[in-house]
Chain A
């Protein structure tokens, strides 16, 4: 919303300075986004007199002028080369001295030579000063202006333009008068009394108004008022009006259109003027019919739907109600008889029509936020009077259909609410004063009875009134009050999963991985590769920002792998990256899963990476990912000893070099492995690349214990005994199985089994392998005898052979 200072002063009698007004606007919630003072922009420019004008020796279209200008307080005669046809001796114009910045193009003037002739400065056109589009010639001033008079004074360009941001709850401030009312309430002056006397119609309008809505849709346009004005002379509007419109960025069209635009900004009251000769029969409002079309004022044709409210005559649609008029029925310079429309349109329907057609207009902007329904007739009167003043003509009596919707609201308000909600102890009188100044109708009593003005659709209850009072009184008067502490020493607040999420980041970073935060959405093809995409249509965005960001990610890996690709392309290929965040199985809240996932690429191994004089790190492998995953699971409190590891990871992993961590048959805690070569190819990222995914929410919650005490430590006095065994087993026997069986052979004595050798191939052939384990036995009561040792060994061998079908290696 833009307006000029002088415009504001039409409604506000004030001595306040521009700075005071700007500061107050912001503190009232009408945030000032910019102030443009044309006087400042025009500061370098001033009146100069052309003393002589002669031909340029080398160019037919140029003249060489002798110009008298005021330079640093002294009158000087300067030579200026000028191309304007209207430049002549004796005229006064606006001069730009060297060093000035030309507003229209930001060019800084310098003394120069034009076709060999020295030129010091420039005589300006209106366009160069951004005053209008006029550039046929230079400014040719009427009257006798002293050399050096500031251009802003001569051109009347000394009216600062203020731009404010209006929040959607304040449609009343989409008119200058509403802004003035707020400022007056805040003590910055007096609101000018508004008197809109009725107009006596000279005749009855032959054009009547009708409303035709099906039951239930009457609120689309509850009231429609109009008036015929005959015998108008349309043409350019007067300079003061054009200047104001231009100042706020509107293009003057003709007097009739300019009047409606002016009242739209002055009062927040959109209007429309029809050329009566182009209207057949009566005018009314109805819903559009399927298949109807309208060529609007923006010269585009719109297909209308039965949801939209239109203005129509007996023959056709004239305009989209509250959004934009039609091209054919608009006023032109030839228009002599006009029909002025002032109506109220439903905000929601207007907003929908605006969205569906994509039309952005000042009318839509106001109607969808809610114009003052009680100002329909006053708006018509204002417009009629302005038409008569600027264009002449004879007005009809008002015609009207329907009635203003009743928006009257009364709120029972306890002024003590102000203190309760804000802590600000204001006298009751101050609340009454502020509300009254804002146009509320306040009756004092036990509680206040507050009538809400028709232009404030946003005020519904006591909290809104509190806001009005503190907003105008000054929010910064509110004093800080300490929030009471809940506990003298603060207590932990994080849940188990929240703690795990935090810890996961620290653990993975401590293992040398770098944390990334990637997009929650990825491309459809990438989602397809990780079990999402086409398989989960509920996770596809209807309005993605680009096709690369169309699907909610089913896994954190596609994001990480893509990042690996981009960094590799930049020359950083040894990558260990992770992310802890949300991934999506389906669109329900339960389908959002927390994952802690990571990748390692090229030689970014846990213990060494890249080239080093102590040895080059080899390529990453599945066991690097498994190490990360295991370490993370252990840190997050997973019962690592009870986890089952199986080789049935999802399709995006290498089928032979990947695994799944499970706790029981159903509960998957995570995956690890090499990424499937086909997936890497599909994402155009080169390997080797290994990955892991851990799901912290799947880890069982820790048991709550009564005390924090650890169980007593039972240290055996006796030396542990270690024995080695090597077994030949079939190639497909999982090592984990052998270790578990060996461990279980004597639960009392065996405290550890570690696998220290794997041998494949050679004399064993293709279908067998040798696994060697070291078993640690911890005697408890007495040293083991040879016989006892022999007995345990036999148990171990028997158990392993039975479970794996293998044999002890001789």
Chain B
């Protein structure tokens, strides 16, 4: 039987030792001295078995209480020590967070403005139900001219500065398409009306100066069915230009013009304001020529196996490079194809900047 004062002393002694322990090893030594197999508290507890029931009834709870309190103190001290160690480690683990990180690939990559505008244009026309058709850059005289109602020797052919290849054995000459209109002929020839598609692509003319490059990009549109008329053409172009330039509304002016493959033929001007070098579409009191269009010439329909008595419709064509320049304020067409890294980074678009009608064409 140990008296209360002895237990109190023991508790005070170990409590002090726990609090004085400065590292986990010392603390473990204290635990072993108190509660280890041969620890002093453990030894006292071993004595319980030899006691009388009354003594055991009195000493049991006291010793268990002591054990519990010591265990608690040990755990608390252990946690405090661990915390202190972590704090000490963290205090040494300081970096200069202003050090620069590497640029991510996403920040470095760019989409060419031409491709971006191409995606924008396609998303608008896709919503209007236009499919996308394509054709070869190297064309026959037939698809580029004859089928499109440019008769042999017609001066309209001379409006196109055509790149030719050397004559073939049969005397015919291939050429680089001067417009995307051959795709009209190819697609109509291969299919059956109704047609509703756009044909974007690369086109060529042997012309090079401030505003002309020997290659450029066009998008052609064609709608052929039994009803489509000039009013539909006007609406389609208005809706397209409004959506493309992301403005409230556009005003168009149709001027009669001449293209062999349309009749009537028109050039379309869009109302704009010119502020220095900047052009704003949809406001102001100036006009800017933006595209050519018309009702498909009956000869073209006939040449492509479509009955012009039954079917009619419109065609339009515009420069993708040109509308890209207008929308994004790019001053020089030639720079599109010069691939100066500084230009590409400045005028290019981020990889994930994908144009959608839901999210807006441009971010």
Residues of A within 8 A of B (CB): 26-29, 31, 167-170, 347-348, 351-352, 355, 368-369, 419-424, 461-464, 466-467, 470-471, 475-476, 478-483, 485-487, 490-495, 498, 502, 505-521, 537-545, 549, 552, 563, 566-567, 570, 572, 575-577, 580-582, 584, 587-589, 591-592, 606-609, 612-614
> Once the chains bind, are B164 and A542 in contact (CB under 8 Å)?
yes
Alpha-carbon distance between A588 and B258 when the two chains are bound, in angstroms: 31
> Once the chains bind, are B153 and A348 in contact (CB under 8 Å)?
yes
Given contacts A26-B255, A168-B155, A514-B344, contact A543 B128 (CB under 8 A): no
- The 25 listed contacts between A and B (C-beta, < 8 Å) are A31-B257, A168-B154, A168-B159, A421-B295, A424-B230, A461-B263, A461-B298, A466-B264, A466-B295, A470-B256, A478-B230, A478-B231, A480-B231, A481-B231, A481-B235, A485-B128, A512-B105, A514-B108, A517-B115, A519-B337, A545-B214, A552-B138, A584-B137, A609-B108, A613-B100
> Contact partner of B208 among A538, A545, A608, CB < 8 A?
A545
Min distance, Cβ B157 to any Cβ of chain A, angstroms = 9
- Tell me if B75 is interfacial: C-beta within 8 Å of chain A: no
Alpha-carbon distance between A759 and B352 when the two chains are bound, in angstroms: 40
> Once the chains bind, are A510 and B351 in contact (CB under 8 Å)?
yes
B298 — which chain A residues lie within 8 A by C-beta? 461-463
Given contacts A466-B264, A519-B215, A582-B137, contact A506 B112 (CB under 8 A): no
- Tell me if B273 is interfacial: C-beta within 8 Å of chain A: no
> Contact partner of A541 among B163, B253, B254, B338, CB < 8 A?
B163
> Once the chains bind, are B106 and A348 in contact (CB under 8 Å)?
no
- Tell me if B111 is interfacial: C-beta within 8 Å of chain A: yes
A479 — which chain B residues lie within 8 A by C-beta? 231, 234
> Once the chains bind, are A514 and B341 in contact (CB under 8 Å)?
yes
Alpha-carbon distance between A463 and B312 when the two chains are bound, in angstroms: 11
Alpha-carbon distance between A483 and B233 when the two chains are bound, in angstroms: 8
> Once the chains bind, are B256 and A490 in contact (CB under 8 Å)?
no
Please encode chain B, from 253 to 294, with 1 for each CB lying within 8 Å of some chain A CB and 0 for all others.
Answer: 111111000011111000000000000000000000000000
- Tell me if B136 is interfacial: C-beta within 8 Å of chain A: yes
- Tell me if B114 is interfacial: C-beta within 8 Å of chain A: yes
- Tell me if B323 is interfacial: C-beta within 8 Å of chain A: no
Interface centre among B119, B168, B256 (most CB of A within 10 A): B256
> Once the chains bind, are B99 and A487 in contact (CB under 8 Å)?
no
A581 — which chain B residues lie within 8 A by C-beta? 202
- 4 interchain residue pairs of minimum CB distance: A29-B256, A512-B105, A167-B258, A423-B231
Alpha-carbon distance between A464 and B104 when the two chains are bound, in angstroms: 60
- Tell me if B165 is interfacial: C-beta within 8 Å of chain A: yes
Identify which of residues 106-143 in chain B touch chain A, using a CB-to-CB cut-off of 8 Å: 106, 108-112, 114-115, 119, 122, 126-132, 134-138
Alpha-carbon distance between A343 and B164 when the two chains are bound, in angstroms: 34
Given contacts A487-B129, A519-B337, A582-B202, contact A470 B264 (CB under 8 A): yes
- Tell me if B174 is interfacial: C-beta within 8 Å of chain A: yes
> Once the chains bind, are B258 and A29 in contact (CB under 8 Å)?
yes
A485 — which chain B residues lie within 8 A by C-beta? 128-129
B229 — which chain A residues lie within 8 A by C-beta? 419-423, 481
> Once the chains bind, are A476 and B337 in contact (CB under 8 Å)?
no
Alpha-carbon distance between A471 and B173 when the two chains are bound, in angstroms: 37
> Once the chains bind, are B105 and A510 in contact (CB under 8 Å)?
yes
B115 — which chain A residues lie within 8 A by C-beta? 505, 515, 517, 580
Smallest CB gap from A559: residue in B = B339
Secondary structure call for the B interface = mixed
> Once the chains bind, are A368 and B155 in contact (CB under 8 Å)?
yes
Smallest CB gap from B115: residue in A = A505
Identify which of residues 77-122 in chain B touch chain A, using a CB-to-CB cut-off of 8 Å: 99-100, 102-106, 108-112, 114-115, 119, 122
> Once the chains bind, are A517 and B337 in contact (CB under 8 Å)?
yes
Alpha-carbon distance between A422 and B227 when the two chains are bound, in angstroms: 10
Min distance, Cβ B210 to any Cβ of chain A, angstroms = 15
> Once the chains bind, are B230 and A422 in contact (CB under 8 Å)?
yes
Alpha-carbon distance between A170 and B163 when the two chains are bound, in angstroms: 26
> Once the chains bind, are A509 and B126 in contact (CB under 8 Å)?
no
> Contact partner of B341 among A168, A476, A495, A572, CB < 8 A?
A572
**Besides the known contacts A423-B231, A483-B232, 6 further A-B residue pairs in the complex with CB atoms under 8 A apart:** A423-B229, A424-B231, A482-B232, A506-B352, A506-B354, A567-B339
Smallest CB gap from B237: residue in A = A480
A613 — which chain B residues lie within 8 A by C-beta? 99-100
Identify which of residues 190-231 in chain B touch chain A, using a CB-to-CB cut-off of 8 Å: 196, 202, 204, 206, 208, 214-215, 223, 228-231
A537 — which chain B residues lie within 8 A by C-beta? 166
> Once the chains bind, are B204 and A520 in contact (CB under 8 Å)?
yes
Alpha-carbon distance between A374 and B354 when the two chains are bound, in angstroms: 61
- Tell me if B43 is interfacial: C-beta within 8 Å of chain A: no
Alpha-carbon distance between A488 and B26 when the two chains are bound, in angstroms: 79
Min distance, Cβ A258 to any Cβ of chain B, angstroms = 27
